[in-house]
Structure 1
Amino acid sequence: MAENNPRGLPLSSDGEGLKRGTRVGEGALREVAAYILDHPIGGHRSSDEVGFAGVPPTVMVRCLYEGFNHPNGNGSKNYKIGSLQMFVKNYGSCEDMGPHAFPVEEVHKISVLDIRLANADRHAGNILIYKEGEEGQFVLVPIDHGYCLPENFEDCTFEWLYWPQARQPFNSETIDYIKSLDAEEDIAILRFYGWELSPECSRTLRISTMLLKKGAERGLMPYDIGSILCRETLKKESKIEEIICKAKDSVLRGTSETAFLESVYEIMDHHLDELSDKIASF
């Protein structure tokens, strides 16, 4: 639905992409953002270090080709700007086999990335598999992040939510990594690399990062936290949408973003405390 799309299909009527809360033409930015924000353990990437979730190196590129679809038919705009991702040798995707063979930590690293970036398109087909080491342990590689960091939480989708590993607790290394995350720093990093997040996308990142941190702090599992972001049905709002709605009702019109977020976090704390108590009672 973007301008000059390869098939010459109609453009988006309102600028929204295939997933609610995303904008046509921003997919490449989101692909690169997922790589930039996939920080290694111990800090921000300073070289070719592999990030915590293992997003392959991804960069913005300009590609020139006379065959690109351009309505004007002139040669002045025969280029496109997009993202280029390093190829990963693999044995296929998670669609090709059941999840029971995947190590818990490998599933958890994907869950941390998806919750934090509010991924609206995490299905088994965009997680690659390869084997590492003499014992051939499976390693999962997340790809296809063009629908992360949306403007709202309406279309958050995590297939791993239904895998048994999602009901296992985070290990200490993962918890320490989650504690180190800082949404304000991430917004500044993306700005440094040329993407000024919209206020809506910035709000999404702040809320999802805080949810992940607060959930992990309480010992909640990926399933517990991820379920708060995902709708049970298309028409029933997710728990995070309900929390945001309550926060909007609790503050005056014109309230600052900081005050609004404080209200969100307060309501979030109350819900997470109730959830923790409920889980502990079983």
Structure 2
Amino acid sequence: SPFRVRKEKLGSLQRFVEHDGCADDFSPTLFPTLEVQRIAVIDIRLFNTDRHGGNILVQRARGPDGTDEPRSPGLKLIPIDHGFCLPDWECALDSLAAADFEWRYWAQARAPMEAAVLEHIRRIDVHADAARLRADEPAPTASGIPALPPLREGCITTMRIGTRLLQIGAAEALTLGDIADIICEPHPQAEHADLGGAGASVLHGLCRGARSEALLRVLQCGKALSVEQRAVVEEAAFHEALDQRLSAYMRALKRQWTAAAQ
């Protein structure tokens, strides 16, 4: 029709996965611990703000003929819909946005991390992953549609924060549920403005404290640094301070648990 105008739009294409329902359709007690913990790891690394039960597909094991395998040792979980991952960390903090983890309320997240999960976390090279994300700038499309913008540095910082939270938590023998609580639960002293105010999470408060410490480090350098050098110093100081604050908080948390158990 001469009245139809061709329009080009940006969109996404997702691979269809055979499944037997979503997590909301099953009792969480049926899910294998390793399957739950695998999803927990990626959600924490990506600061997923939309991990509800409908975004976890459940797949029963199939026999060679394609029928359900009744003797299967468990169900397979398939995470989908990751459009609300990796928010810019400063935007997430300032808006008091909290990640949403459906699995945080499941027993598997409160169980000790599986050996395979611990090994995976130990082997993560956060610096290499950050460099890979910076390098993955999309090429222009052949049709002339503008390419998607590159990932913002603040989003890459979010990945680094989530990954270090995982690695330090694993080293301190916390469960994935414990680590998720640091992201989601209010800080016990959150009413203080320097920790983000009422409703701010533990992670929010720790990040704000680390950011203040990093800015102080830059100020101590005076005018000897260029703008680029100041940015490098501030970034390094922030991550160093955050690592220290995360470790100190987790150790204090464990001391509280030990005292409460006595």
Q: TM-score range by the shorter chain?
A: 0.7 to 0.9
Q: Is the 8 A contact 1:215 1:225 kept in 2?
A: yes
- Deviations 1:3-58 (CA, angstroms, capped at 9, x unpaired): xxxxxxxxxxxxxxxxxxxxxxxxxxxxxxxxxxxxxxxxxxxxxxxxxxxxxxxx
Asked whether the 8 Å contact 1:122–1:157 carries over to 2, the reply is yes
Amino acid at match of 1:237: A
Structure 2 counterpart of 1:93: 22
Deviations 1:89-141 (A, max 9, x none): 00110111221111111111110010111101100010000112542321100
Cα-Cα RMSD: 2.2
CA deviation map 1:229-258 (0-9, x unaligned) = 114599511100000111223331565211
Q: Secondary structure at the match of 2:11?
A: strand
Report if aligned partners of 1:156, 1:231 keep a CA contact under 8 Å in 2: no
Look up the equivalent residue of 2:172 and give its one-letter code: R
2:198 maps to 1:269: no
Alignment of 1:69-148 (within 5 A): 74-75=5-6, 78-132=7-61, 134=69, 135-136=71-72, 137-148=74-85
Indicate the residue corresponding to 1:208 in structure 2.
162
Distance 1:211 1:107, change over 3 A: same
Q: Which residue of 1 aligns with 2:257?
A: 279
Equivalent residue number for residue 237 of structure 1: 200
Cα 1:132–1:103 change in 2 (3 A) is same
The equivalent of 2:193 in structure 1 is none
State how 1:1-282 maps to structure 2 within 5 Å: 74-75=5-6, 78-132=7-61, 134=69, 135-136=71-72, 137-152=74-89, 153=92, 154-194=97-137, 196-232=150-186, 236-251=199-214, 252=216, 256-281=234-259, 282=261
Q: Which residue of 2 aligns with 1:31?
A: none
Change (3 A) 1:173 1:115: same
Task: Report the Cα offset of residue 169 of structure 1.
Answer: 0.6
Distance 1:126 1:232, change over 3 A: farther
Cα distance, 1:173 vs structure 2: 1.1
Q: Is the 8 A contact 1:182 1:209 kept in 2?
A: no
> For residues 137 and 12 of structure 2, what CA distance do their matches in structure 1 show?
14
Q: Distance in 1 between matches of 2:239 and 2:57?
A: 36
- 1:122 and 1:158 in contact (8 A); partners too: yes
Report deviation, 1:181: 1.2
Gaps of 5+ in 2: 63-68, 139-149, 188-196, 220-229
Contact 1:101 1:138 in 2 (8 A): yes
Percent of aligned positions that are identical: 36
Q: Output the CA distance in 1 between the equivalents of 2:154 and 2:106.
A: 30
| TM-score (norm. length: structure 2) | 0.73
Q: 1:94, 1:140 → 2: CA distance?
A: 8
Bigger strand fraction: 1
Whole-Å separation in 2 of the counterparts to 1:107 and 1:157 = 15
Q: What is the one-letter code of the residue matched to 2:24? A: E
The total of aligned residue pairs comes to 209
Segments ≥4 residues shifted beyond 6 Å: none
| Secondary structure of 2:173 counterpart | coil
- Aligned counterparts of 2:212 and 2:133: Cα–Cα separation in 1: 31
- Larger relative helix fraction: 2
